[in-house]
Homo-oligomer: A and B are copies of this chain.
Amino acid sequence: MNTLIVYAHPEPRSLNGSLKDLAVSTLEAAGHEVRVSDLYAMGWKAVADAADYGPHADSPLRVARDSGRAFEAGDLTPDVRAEQEKLLWADTVVFQFPLWWYTMPAILKGWVDRVFTHRFAYGVGEHSETRYGDRFGEGVLAGRRALLSVTIGGAQTHYSDRGVNGPIDDLLFPINHGILYYPGLEPLPPFVVHGADRLTADGYADVAKAWEQRLLTLDSTEPIPFRGQNSGDYEMPALRLRPGLEPAGRTGFGLHVRG
């Protein structure tokens, strides 16, 4: 198995740094190939702008069109091309980051904004009245798995079904479904550590054991059963879920999970 770890934390001696190191050693010891994109160490450029698209940056700039043209011509910047190549190499992509303001740190969002270009991650496949592109279950990255490994300062109850922050599965839906499933990745249930700022040595030992267990069962873990956009479950071209497919009482983001 080839695993890419995309890691976003400014401090190597952090909980996130430890979990990233443990993922590398655990997977390598099990005979897997691992590559790491350590965004802070790489000095990753977080801001998408005209400089990303070389001669294809038109005036006025149009991000989707111009990024797609640069992608198709092989003219994206070397840092972005390298990340796209790593994604195509990987069978599994692990994202290791702290939840900052209920989502990923800016440097990781900037990795998405710059690497997930038009024609690579969106604007792929036939767009018509009966088919709205290869996305949500299809796309360039189909056949690969993804896993969010997230550290959170707050307690688990604050992120429970009735918790003040909202349910963690809903907070991560725009990432798991909107960013990862969109270009074809199959997201696994996330690995979440709560109370990250107050973790004791004993607490870390438990977390490490649970993380190793997840890493060693990546192959056999069932992905979140999101509905395929072109599976027949959605009206075309409105892309609304057909009536009656969901369990009674299911609403919101949960509609897009089967069963």
Contact = CB atoms under 8 A, between A and B. Distances in A.
B166 A252 contact: yes
Nearest to A112: B101
Given A106-B46, A251-B252, A113 B101 contact: yes
A171 to B, nearest CB: 6
Contact of A103 (B60, B62, B109, B155): B109
Contacts of A124: none
Q: What interface size band does chain A fall in?
A: 35 or more
Nearest to A174: B102
A50 B50 CA distance: 28
Contacts of A62: 11, 197
Contact of A239 (B104, B106, B164, B240): B164
B10 A63 contact: yes
A229 interface: yes
A239 B103 contact: no
Contacts of A113: 100-101, 105-106
Contact of A170 (B11, B63, B136, B170): B170
B10 A61 contact: yes
Contacts of A116: 101
A32 interface: no
Query: Which among A10, A136, A157, A253 has the greatest number of chain B C-beta atoms within 10 A?
Result: A10
Interface string A226-257: 00010000100111110000000101111110
A258 interface: no
Contacts of A101: 109, 112-113, 116, 174, 178-179, 182
Given A14-B60, A240-B157, A255 B102 contact: no
A160 interface: yes
A251 B166 CA distance: 10
Nearest to A154: B239
Instruction: Give the 3 A-B CB pairs with smallest separation, nearest first.
Output: A106-B110, A102-B178, A13-B60
16 contacts: A13-B60, A14-B60, A46-B106, A101-B109, A103-B109, A106-B109, A106-B112, A107-B110, A155-B238, A162-B240, A163-B239, A164-B256, A165-B239, A167-B252, A249-B249, A252-B254
